[in-house]
């Protein structure tokens, strides 16, 4: 029996030694430079895409309505995260985004702060401090909970003007989203557009620029307001997300040189379709977000050093596809006009993608990204 155990152990050791596998087909004189799968290379860049309110049913409905296909099928590693907030089983977008951005469970409504309303450094701020290029893109206002949680620190997601002022506190390279009024028509009468320009930013908007062709100067930081208040739904003519995603990636890639970049892209309005209990709204927003995913995947496949992670903050609507549905004609129902507690899929592709399989807390996404960047695993 003892011998058998030793034999098995030796076999396991032998089979698991990477060098043994790698040398198999090579002449003994050839140096081995193959990457070990047990300790993959670090990611130079991370593109993190959040479909707000994009639970599994939203993805399923969007996929069938999109001719039974989605970019998400290209992602090899899929996991599930537990979305609950510190004070509520049902998270909101602020607590969820803060979990992703800072690695902490916090209360609903918190923007980049913990339960004691203390600011926590975000992954975007840390990337910026390390000399990387950083960006935020969304189809809501840029001061809305999801993008805000990467750059702002506020006890309440409702304090939009204070959140806008926090964009002056970090040298973020690029941000593109709605909400021009929070920068320019403010109670404190500051004009943040002027202040951004004084800091050296090129600032433009949906009136002065063609969002589909921004021609961003890579020697400057860049901000673009895509609307005065909330951007339109895609069904009413908004069309910038896929193009802006591509342009932002190209800009950040060129600007960052060898340092790499962190970009968060949000498809904000999948959530709003859920709140409105409108399947068509969910589906059209998902399909738009899927096109943005394609831009990230195409870049990552070409680049080879980019980790792409896709998830949602939570599910919205208790969305279901009903028994009389066909692939061409979905019959849907909702159990809620708010968020639900179901676990949320996480899709990953590129260096360290494998770390994202399994079931874990939403806060783990932060630690997995740090690890992918090679920043080391912080104590939690
Ligand atoms: Mg959001
Ligand atoms: Zn919501």
**Tens digit of each residue's pLDDT (9 = 90 or more) over 55-114:** 999 999 999 999 999 999 999 999 999 999 999 999 999 999 999 999 999 999 999 999
| Average pLDDT in the chain | 91
Q: Is the pLDDT of residue 177 over 70?
A: yes
Distance of CA 304 from the midpoint of ligand 1 (Å): 29
Confirm if 146 and 100 have CB atoms less than 8 A apart: no
Of 29 and 157, the one with more pLDDT: 157
Can you name the residues that pair with 45 across neighbouring β-strands?
306
Contact 154/111 with Cβ under 8 angstroms? yes
Rounded percentage of the chain residues whose pLDDT exceeds 90: 88
Nearest to 113 by CA among 130, 93, 99: 99
Share of residues in the chain with pLDDT > 70 (%)? 89
pLDDT at 32 over 70: no
The predicted pLDDT at position 152 comes to: 98
| Mean local confidence (pLDDT), 117-134 | 98
Predicted local distance difference test score (pLDDT) of residue 33: 43
First-to-last CA distance in the chain? Answer: 43
SS3 95: helix
Give the 3-state secondary structure of residue 49: strand
In 10 A of CB 18, how many CB atoms? 14
Nearest ligand to the CA atom of 230: 1
Contacts 24+ apart (CB under 8 A), 219-222: 221/171, 221/172, 221/173, 221/174, 221/196, 222/173, 222/174, 222/175, 222/176, 222/251
Residue 219 — φ and ψ, nearest 5°? -90, -5
CA distances from 27 to 3, 111, 251 (A): 33, 57, 44
Would you say residue 26 has pLDDT above 80?
Answer: no
**CA dihedral defined by 289, 270, 347, 325, rounded to 10 degrees?**
-100
Of all ligands present, the nearest one to the C-alpha of 91 is: 2
**pLDDT band for position 40 (50/70/90)?**
confident
The number of CA neighbours under 13 Å toward the Cβ of 297 is 17
Q: What is the pLDDT of residues 343-370, one digit of tens each?
A: 999 999 999 999 999 999 999 999 999 9
Shortest-distance ligand to the CA of residue 269? 1
CA–centroid distance, 146 to ligand 1, in Å, is: 4
- What pLDDT shows up at residue 162? 98
Q: Mind listing the domains of the chain with CATH numbers?
A: 41-372 (3.40.720.10)
pLDDT of residue 20: 35
Instruction: Give the number of other CB atoms < 10 A from CB of residue 346.
Output: 24
Ligand 2 mean position to 17 CA, how many Å? Answer: 48
> Which residues are part of the catalytic machinery?
93
Q: 272 CA to middle of ligand 2, Å? A: 6
Tokens of 379: 């104590």
Q: Look-up: residue for tokens 């300790």?
A: 39
Q: What is the pLDDT of residues 301-333, one digit of tens each?
A: 999 999 999 999 999 999 999 999 999 999 999
Ligand 2 center–CA 339 separation, angstroms: 6
d(CA 96, CA 6): 48
* 37 burial via Cβ count (<10 Å: 0-12, 13-18, 19+): exposed
The SS3 of residue 64 is helix
Res 228 pLDDT > 80: yes
pLDDT value of residue 9: 39
pLDDT reported for residue 23 = 35
pLDDT for 377 equals: 58
**Half-sphere CA count of 85, side-chain side, radius 13 A:** 24
State the pLDDT confidence band at 168, using cuts at 50, 70 and 90: very high
At residue 190, the pLDDT reads: 98
Pairing of strands 332-333, 320-321: antiparallel
């Amino acid at each position: 029996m003892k011998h058998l155990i030793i034999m098995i152990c030796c076999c396991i050791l032998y089979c698991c030694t990477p060098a043994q596998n790698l040398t198999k087909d090579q002449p003994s004189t050839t140096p081995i430079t193959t990457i070990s799968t047990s300790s993959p290379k670090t990611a130079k860049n991370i593109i993190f895409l959040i479909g707000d309110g994009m639970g599994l049913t939203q993805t399923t409905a969007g996929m069938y309505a999109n001719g039974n296909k989605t970019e998400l099928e290209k992602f090899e590693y899929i996991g599930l995260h537990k979305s609950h907030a510190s004070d509520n089983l049902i998270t909101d977008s602020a607590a969820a985004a803060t979990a992703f951005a800072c690695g902490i469970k916090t209360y609903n409504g918190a923007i980049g702060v913990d339960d004691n309303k203390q600011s926590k450094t975000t992954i975007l701020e840390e990337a910026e401090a390390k000399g990387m290029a950083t960006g935020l893109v969304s189809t809501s206002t840029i001061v809305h909970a999801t993008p805000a949680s990467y750059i702002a620190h506020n006890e309440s997601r409702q304090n939009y003007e204070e959140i806008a002022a926090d964009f002056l506190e970090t040298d973020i390279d690029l941000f593109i989203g709605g909400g021009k009024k929070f920068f320019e028509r403010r109670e404190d009468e500051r004009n943040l557009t002027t202040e951004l320009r004084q800091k050296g930013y090129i600032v433009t908007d949906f009136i002065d620029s063609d969002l589909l062709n921004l021609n961003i100067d890579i020697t400057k930081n860049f901000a673009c307001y895509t609307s005065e208040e909330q951007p339109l739904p895609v069904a009413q003519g908004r069309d910038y997300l896929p193009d802006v995603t591509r342009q932002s990636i190209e800009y950040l890639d060129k600007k960052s040189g060898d340092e790499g970049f962190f970009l968060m892209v949000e498809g904000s309005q999948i959530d709003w379709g859920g709140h409105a209990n409108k399947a068509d709204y969910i589906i059209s927003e998902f399909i738009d977000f899927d096109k943005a995913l394609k831009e990230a995947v195409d870049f990552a496949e070409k680049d080879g050093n980019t980790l792409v992670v896709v998830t949602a903050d939570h599910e919205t609507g208790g969305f279901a596809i009903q028994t009389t549905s066909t692939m061409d004609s979905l019959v849907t129902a909702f159990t809620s006009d708010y968020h639900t507690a179901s676990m949320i899929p996480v899709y990953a592709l590129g260096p360290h993608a494998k770390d994202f399989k399994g079931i874990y807390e939403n806060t783990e996404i932060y630690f997995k990204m740090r690890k992918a960047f090679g920043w080391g695993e912080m104590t939690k």
